[in-house]
């Protein structure tokens, strides 16, 4: 069953068509990758799905519900969480606070009861903390939970971004280049990490990634974008042998 | 497992110690207020009152500017709303006719006199309501544009109050507001506001505000509705500014629109920048330093003689020159304000000797290298 579906999504910036009639379908429980050369429109596609941009035309469906044009916070509430290509942690706050903030969307008491520490708020706060402690424990971030997030090493900041996204209790996790700037060893670690997280939290994962090792190893299906167009889709094997993909990545030799 | 139990036990203990320390601090402050209330003369009393009021207003501004990261300059306007609520509703009915001699007061409120607390709270709520109304269109703006829009609002309020003569007595202002002489009103409310702010900032809503300050895009992607939380922060800030304004009116005993020029807002901006954007204790410290310091430096404005020679430097105006130089020095050496976005806690105080020692060590190391 498809959890995320885009129907002819077009995103134009003035005369530039960043994404042209994008038709993507992600099924529940899958890991789907979106690849393509720089400037292909991958992040724009993500931004259309998460509500950062409102598509020029077309529809985005999440669990058969039309979410086109909804604001990012509403879309997150429905169950889509994301990470960012250039890490966007709350830099001056601690690891714990970063994760707690992501739990705020489930809060069901108003600011007065939260401020006056009424029983409902106290209970909610304790539960929130417990859930976050557990999450950090499972993702191996307990030791640094009181550190300021910007002081963490790069790889851990990436992990924290995923932890923070998970704290919103998503059904679908969008990862925007999770392995960017990582060395092969760290990438291997991340690959295992994504697999574990996906199984533990029963997630569907849709990701943008440039590291082909990672993509080929964990993706069930792959979409390839170039200049906003979907030039190929299929299993890792099909993609690796697709002429158009090889052309897009390596260029075409004129005299060949 | 055993470790985590120990850790949570230690946590509980440190929590208890924290409450004990807060309790002791509170008692010390109350004793200070009590002693000050019976010993100081009316001049010092007035300055202390002003310090407490500026603390409230500084905190109200810090909530929006320091904790939520919005650049708002509308404080004087919200203050005016609170001040006028107290002024209009607490002035004794008998003295009103003489005051409204150009245009009589609107009959609907001419005979309405409210107790101070009710008028003060009313001022807070009306001000919060205005903040809520203004917030809707204005909080869609960012950065400098928001500052200009809120500045405009504050000027509009002032001009409206100048022209609604049947309610506010226009440019003539309102005199004879029953004044608060004791310290308890201002300090009592200031203490309540400080406690409220600590609880709010350390609640889940306070974290949401900070998230918006740190990164709006990430905050929104984490499911925090930017608009809702900005309006919330702005409204609470409006409420606190209204209360502060009401106390201000009751301290001075008179209000008129000229008091609420937008330049008044810069006093509070100065306080929060100096104390640290996003620090409650910094705001308190800086409110006292700025308010009391400005008074204390007044001696620079008076002529002084050294061995019979009249030093020409000491003349009206030197006070502001020295004060501005001190400010520049502070901003240069503590670029994030006195406290940054930290709070003055026991742990912070304990680290101070280390910090001082480290600072000297670096200097002596440099000196050694130079040799």
Looking at the partner chain, which of B204, B218, B226 has a beta carbon nearest the beta carbon of A104?
Answer: B204
The answer to whether residue B211 neighbours chain A at the CB level (below 8 Å) is: yes
Q: Is the torsion defined by CA of A66, A72, A75, A80 positive or negative?
A: positive
What is the signed CA dihedral for A197, A198, A202, A208, rounded to 10 degrees? 130
Residue B3 pLDDT: 47
Looking at the partner chain, which of A88, A107, A167 has a beta carbon nearest the beta carbon of B218?
Answer: A88
Q: Judge contact between A136 and A142, C-beta under 8 A.
A: yes
In B, residues 218-247, which contact A (CB 8 Å cutoff)?
Answer: 218-226, 232, 236
Question: Taking CB atoms and an 8 Å limit, are B214 and A91 in contact across chains?
Answer: yes
Question: Taking CB atoms and an 8 Å limit, are A105 and B224 in contact across chains?
Answer: yes
Residue B194 pLDDT: 96
A172-196 average pLDDT score: 91
Looking at the partner chain, which of A52, A104, A124 has a beta carbon nearest the beta carbon of B207?
Answer: A104
Element (H, E) at A222: strand A221-226
* Nearest chain B alpha carbon to A163: B222
pLDDT along chain B (371 residues), means of 10: 51 78 90 90 92 96 95 94 95 87 83 92 97 92 91 94 91 90 92 95 95 95 95 97 96 93 90 92 93 87 79 81 84 83 80 77 54 41
A242 CA: distance to closest CA in chain B (Å) = 35
* Nearest chain A alpha carbon to B235: A111
Select the residue from B8, B59, B210, B221 to test the A interface by mutation, using most A Cβ atoms within 10 A: B221
Q: How far apart are the first and last CA of chain A?
A: 43
Residues in chain B: 371
Residue B105 pLDDT: 83
Prediction ipTM score? 0.92
Q: Judge contact between A179 and A113, C-beta under 8 A.
A: no
Mean pLDDT, chain A, integer: 91
Give the pLDDT band (50/70/90) at residue A63.
very high
- Kindly report, residue by residue over B158-191, the tens digit of the pLDDT: 999 999 988 899 889 999 999 988 899 999 999 9
A168 CA: distance to closest CA in chain B (Å) = 7
Question: Taking CB atoms and an 8 Å limit, are B207 and A168 in contact across chains?
Answer: no
* Nearest chain B alpha carbon to A111: B205
Rounded to two decimals, what is the model's pTM? 0.90
Q: Which residues of B touch A160 (CB under 8 A)?
A: none
Query: Among the listed ranges A4-18, A101-115, B197-211, B322-336, which one has the minimum average pLDDT value?
Result: B322-336
Residue B371 pLDDT: 41
The answer to whether residue A104 neighbours chain B at the CB level (below 8 Å) is: yes
Q: Which residue in B113, B91, B72, B48 sits closest to B240, CA to CA?
A: B72
B231 CA: distance to closest CA in chain A (Å) = 12
* Nearest chain A alpha carbon to B218: A88
Q: How far apart are CA A76 and CA B146, in angstroms?
A: 27
The answer to whether residue A116 neighbours chain B at the CB level (below 8 Å) is: yes
The answer to whether residue A86 neighbours chain B at the CB level (below 8 Å) is: no
Q: How far apart are CA B18 and CA B15, in angstroms?
A: 5
Q: How many CB pairs under 8 A join A and B?
A: 101
Q: Which residue in A37, A12, A36, A10 sits closest to A23, CA to CA?
A: A10
Q: How far apart are CA B368 and CA A255, in angstroms?
A: 68
Cβ neighbours of residue A181 under 8 Å, at least 6 residues apart? A154
């Amino acid at each position: 069953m498809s959890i995320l579906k885009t129907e002819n999504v077009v995103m134009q910036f003035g005369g530039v068509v960043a994404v042209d009639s994008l038709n993507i379908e992600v099924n529940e429980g899958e890991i789907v990758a979106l690849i393509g050369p720089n400037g292909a429109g991958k992040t724009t596609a993500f931004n259309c799905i998460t509500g950062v941009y409102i598509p020029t035309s077309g529809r985005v469906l999440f669990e058969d519900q039309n979410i086109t044009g909804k604001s990012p916070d509403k879309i997150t509430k429905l169950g889509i969480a994301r990470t960012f290509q250039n890490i966007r942690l709350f830099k001056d706050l601690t690891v714990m606070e970063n994760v707690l903030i992501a739990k705020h969307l489930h809060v069901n008491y108003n600011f007065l009861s939260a401020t006056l520490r009424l029983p409902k708020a106290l209970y909610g706060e304790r539960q929130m903390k417990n859930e976050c402690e557990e999450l950090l424990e499972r993702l191996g971030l307990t030791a640094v939970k009181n550190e300021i997030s910007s002081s963490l090493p790069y790889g851990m900041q990436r992990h924290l971004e995923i932890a923070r996204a998970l704290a919103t209790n998503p059904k679908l996790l969008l990862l925007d280049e999770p392995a960017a700037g990582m060395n092969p060893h760290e990438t291997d670690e991340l690959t295992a990490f994504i697999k574990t997280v996906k199984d533990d939290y029963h997630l569907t994962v849709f990701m943008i990634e440039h590291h082909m090792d990672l993509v080929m190893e964990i993706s069930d299906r792959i979409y390839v974008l170039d200049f906003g167009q979907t030039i190929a889709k299929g299993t890792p094997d099909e993609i690796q042998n697709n002429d158009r993909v090889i052309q897009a990545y390596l260029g075409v030799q004129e005299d060949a | 497992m055993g470790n985590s139990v120990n850790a949570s036990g230690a946590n509980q203990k440190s929590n208890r110690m924290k409450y004990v320390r807060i309790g002791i601090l509170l008692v010390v402050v109350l004793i200070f207020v009590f002693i000050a209330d019976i010993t100081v003369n009316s001049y010092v009393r007035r300055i202390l009152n002003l310090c407490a009021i500026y603390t409230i207003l500084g905190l109200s501004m810090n909530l929006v500017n320091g904790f939520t990261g919005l650049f708002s300059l509308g404080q004087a306007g919200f203050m005016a709303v609170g001040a006028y609520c107290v002024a209009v509703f607490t002035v004794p009915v008998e003295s009103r006719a003489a005051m409204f001699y150009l245009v009589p007061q609107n009959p609907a409120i001419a005979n309405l006199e409210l107790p101070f607390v009710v008028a003060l709270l009313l001022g807070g709520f009306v001000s919060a309501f205005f903040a809520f109304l203004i917030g809707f269109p204005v909080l869609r703006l960012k950065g400098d544009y928001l500052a200009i829009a809120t500045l405009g609002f504050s000027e509009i309020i002032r001009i409206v109050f100048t022209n609604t003569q049947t309610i506010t007595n226009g440019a003539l202002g309102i005199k004879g507001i029953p004044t608060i002489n004791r310290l308890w009103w201002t300090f009592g409310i200031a203490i309540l506001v400080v406690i409220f702010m600590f609880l709010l900032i350390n609640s889940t809503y306070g974290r949401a505000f900070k998230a918006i300050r740190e990164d709006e895009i990430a905050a929104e992607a984490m499911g925090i509705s930017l608009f809702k939380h900005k309006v919330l922060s702005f409204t609470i800030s409006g409420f606190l500014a209204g209360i502060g304004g009401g106390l201000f009116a009751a301290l001075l005993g008179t209000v008129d629109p000229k008091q609420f020029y937008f330049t008044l807002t810069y006093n509070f901006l100065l306080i929060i920048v100096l104390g640290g954007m996003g620090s409650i204790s910094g705001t308190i410290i800086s409110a006292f330093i700025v308010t009391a310091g400005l008074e204390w430096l007044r001696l620079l404005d008076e002529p002084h003689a050294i061995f019979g020679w009249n030093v020409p430097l000491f003349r009206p105006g030197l006070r502001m020159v020295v004060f501005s130089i001190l400010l520049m020095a502070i901003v240069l050496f503590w670029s994030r304000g006195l406290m940054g976005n930290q709070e003055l806690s026991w742990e912070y105080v304990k680290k101070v000797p280390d910090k001082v020692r480290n600072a000297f060590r670096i200097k002596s190391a440099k000196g050694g290298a130079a040799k």
